[in-house]
Amino acid sequence: MTKAQRSFFISLIITTYYILHTTFLTAQPASTVRLAIEAQLKQYPASTLQDIYKSFFQDEFGPGHLAPDSAGAAGYLEYELAGMTSKRNYIAEPCGTGNNFYRVPLDLVQDSIIPKEEYLEAFLESAKDFKIPDIEEWKAKWEMILTEIERMNVELPNFEADKKTIAEMLDRGEAVVHHSEGYIKNYDPHYRIISKAEMEKLNSKFKIQNSKF
């Protein structure tokens, strides 16, 4: 590669990064990202970087990877409902900055506030909005979020280890994570990811509360 070619590719990389950086910050102001992180840590102080990553990933891409078919989704919903105990949590929470998706607790079904069939339908309709992640684009967005987290100087358990694990995962072309063991142990989460549009439909019928930051 000639010196001129190297200069061209370096310039191209810098320009691409700048475009992604500008686009993301325009769509997700740093203050909004910060408020979303603060809200999660206030509600779930045992959250790790892995849990914060999961929330932003869910808002970006939705629940499609969790719903391969309606029969499978219905069966797993039945299984989870049978094994959980309601905590009377009826508040839908925004994923990430809440631009696209919400976590809607299964307690609403367990306690007969939303019929199971309508809840499942909302989940399956939401899954249709799932976008296959463009790993490079998502990596760039995650770097912006991570930068904001580091600026906040918050203490997260296993921060450096999680940061490394997430980076290695993304380098392999993977993007999906589970909740951390600490999060599961402390909060025993049971919810489905539902789009804002489907949330509005459910809310018009059942008046679901939703948290805002």
The domain in which residue 167 lies consists of 3-210
Helix (H) or strand (E) holding 193: strand 191-195
- pLDDT tens sequence for the chain (213 residues): 565 544 434 443 433 344 444 444 445 556 899 999 999 999 999 999 999 999 999 999 888 666 557 888 899 999 999 999 999 999 999 999 988 999 999 999 999 999 999 999 999 999 886 677 788 999 999 999 999 999 999 999 999 999 999 999 999 999 999 999 999 999 999 999 999 999 999 988 988 877 654
CA dist 201 and 39 (Å) reads: 25
Residue 63 gets which letter from DSSP? T
Please report the pLDDT score of residue 85 as a whole number: 95
The pTM is what?
0.83
- Which backbone phi and psi does 105 adopt, to 5 degrees? -65, 145
CA angle centred on 41, ends 40 and 47, rounded to 5°: 95
**Coil/strand/helix, residue 162:** helix
Tens of pLDDT, residue by residue over 38-80, are 999 999 999 999 999 999 999 998 886 665 578 888 999 999 9
Within the chain, residue ranges assigned H as helices are 3-27, 30-43, 49-61, 70-83, 107-110, 116-127, 135-152, 159-171, 181-187, 196-206
Cβ contacts of 13 within 8 Å, gap of 6 or more = none
Count how many domains the chain has. Answer: 1
